[in-house]
Structure 1
Amino acid sequence: MTKKAPNGRQDSVADFSFMLASSVHDMKNSLGMLLTTLDETMRDMPAKTPEQQQRFATLQYEASRINGELIQLLSLYRMNLQAMPIRVEENYVRDAIDDQLARNDMLFVSRHLNVNFNCDEDLLWYFDSDLVGGVLHNVLVNCARYTRSQLSIKAWLEDSGLFVQIEDDGQGYPEAMLSQPVDLGASVSFESGSTNLGLYFAQTVAQLHKAKDRKGSIALANGGDLGGGVFTLFLP
């Protein structure tokens, strides 16, 4: 028989969770300001040497990655409290993806990445643009780190659902991620510091999108047209 924790302890845990979430929120806002300032600095004072370019690229990537993870943590926290209702509306798919490409434009420039985007301008679908945008942002930031020079994004309708696919020309996903892409507990690596939070968030967001008896999903693969990692988001 499982014993219940005293009310005082439950209240303490709840208070700590709230304080932690508040701190994460403040850090997210500070990082957002840092990213804006960094973008402005990179535009006003472009790198003059390859070494400076590399430093800018590292700063841009790390700040974007941490900011994205903080947003994901806050979103998952609110989902756990059932305080974050999903807002499914009809959206132009191209606009939703364009927003994330524009958001990461300086990151792509600093890493000399060529981005190819293929999506019908009139393609419409129902989804929560903020949550789905967060998923795509995280994938694009990670691709910017691991790809060599090419990124490809495409979106299309098939089998009564929307598919969004992001490919890169990097080394591809590790085998462990392909076999258990969203097993949050099993995929923690203390050596690399990776928790696969982004993939867990992506799966959670995908599954919040439902149509009749179907749920959204994500899939990881290697190969594709560019020979690297392939991330696919499906929304029914």
Structure 2
Amino acid sequence: MYAGTALLVLLLSILLARSLVARALEPLEWVARRAEAITARPEPLPEPEGRDEVATLVRALNGMLSRMQEAFLAQTRFLQDASHELRTPITAILGHVGYLLRRTPLTEAQRESLEIVKREAERMGKLVSDLLELSQSGTWRIEPVPLRVLDLLEEIREEFAPGFAGEIRVEADPGLYLLGDPYRLHQVLANLVTNAIKAKAQRITLKAFGVEGRVVVQVEDDGEGLPLPLEALAQPFRQGGPNRGSAGLGLYTAKRVAEAHGGRLLTCKTPLGGACLRLELPSAKEL
């Protein structure tokens, strides 16, 4: 009899305890659901009355969200201001270069140099427009076309090799094609090569190959490597170190462009011993 009574008391105690725990956890579950909703719509949580632990947690989350929104707005304002300020000198450079190309007797070497200046100023102008577009909508448009990967990598090598004291190698199948936006992908690869040079690399390899219906493009170097995990470096305005001398948009841009193509940006290992960044992109067969 006593055993049966004890068992009944134990069962009732378990049921009561479960009920109490469920009631105690209800406010925390509500906070968790609301916090998950922040990712889709960053609005503050309604603050419950009282000064218990749940109310304290909600106020802390709201404070964190407010600081994040202030930082995001500050970055957006910076992008907008910088974009407007950069347009004037870029327009002036293009105007003067165009005049020299049209009206001035030039040697072949001088003409080639001015054409490079013109092409890079045009790319800078496109980048400025991109920054302004990003600050307003948070997204970039891409215009994918079939691209011969070897041509894309050779274009990058030819752009950087004259001013680089080290070696830039290209390894790609001549018959390999990908589906991508030529301007955006050039921008990404140029950023990755620039990062390698800033990391004191003396050897850089631009490598491409196909795998499982995708095209993989890797930029490998023998430099100092990545100072932080890719997830941290791929945040806007996050610089890789005090001596890298950039605005902190290179890897952020690379990640966003890769994702806009339906691909991704990853780290990888390289026998060169430095950094290895890997773009996985759609092949031209997916057109």
Q: By the TM > 0.5 criterion, same fold?
A: yes
State percent identity of aligned pairs: 22
- For normalisation by structure 2, the TM-score amounts to 0.54
CA distance in 2, matches of 1:29, 1:93: 31
Give the aligned partner of residue 100 of structure 1. Answer: 156
- C-alpha offsets along residues 148-200 of structure 1, whole Å, 9 cap, x if unaligned? 421111001112211110111112111x2445231236x35895565431011
Question: Is the CA contact (8 Å cut-off) linking 1:68 and 1:138 kept in structure 2?
Answer: no
CA distance in 2, matches of 1:191, 1:198: 15
The letter of the residue matching 1:106 is P
Question: Is the CA contact (8 Å cut-off) linking 2:79 and 2:131 kept in structure 1?
Answer: no
- For normalisation by structure 1, the TM-score amounts to 0.65
Give the aligned partner of residue 154 of structure 1. Answer: 207
1:163 to 216, 219, 229: 216
Q: If you compute each CA radius of gyration, which structure gives the higher value, 1 or 2?
A: 2
1:23 to 85, 97, 103: 85
CA distance in 2, matches of 1:29, 1:225: 43
2:267 pairs with 1:205: no
Bigger strand fraction: 1
SS in 2 for 1:180: helix
Aligned ranges 1:76-155 → 2 under 5 Å? 76-81=131-136, 85-108=141-164, 111=165, 113-155=166-208
- Unaligned runs of at least 5 residues, structure 2: 1-42, 45-75, 101-105, 111-119, 283-287
CA distance in 1, matches of 2:222, 2:240: 24
Give the aligned partner of residue 275 of structure 2. Answer: 229
Q: Per chain length, whose mean CA-contact separation is higher, i.e. which structure has more relative contact order (CA < 8 Å, sep 6+)?
A: 1
- Unaligned runs of at least 5 residues, structure 1: 3-13, 45-63, 211-215
2:228 pairs with 1:182: no
> CA 1:33 to 1:102, structure 2 compared with 1: closer, same or farther past 3 Å?
farther
Give the aligned partner of residue 58 of structure 1. Answer: none
Bigger helix fraction: 2
Question: Is the CA contact (8 Å cut-off) linking 1:94 and 1:123 kept in structure 2?
Answer: yes
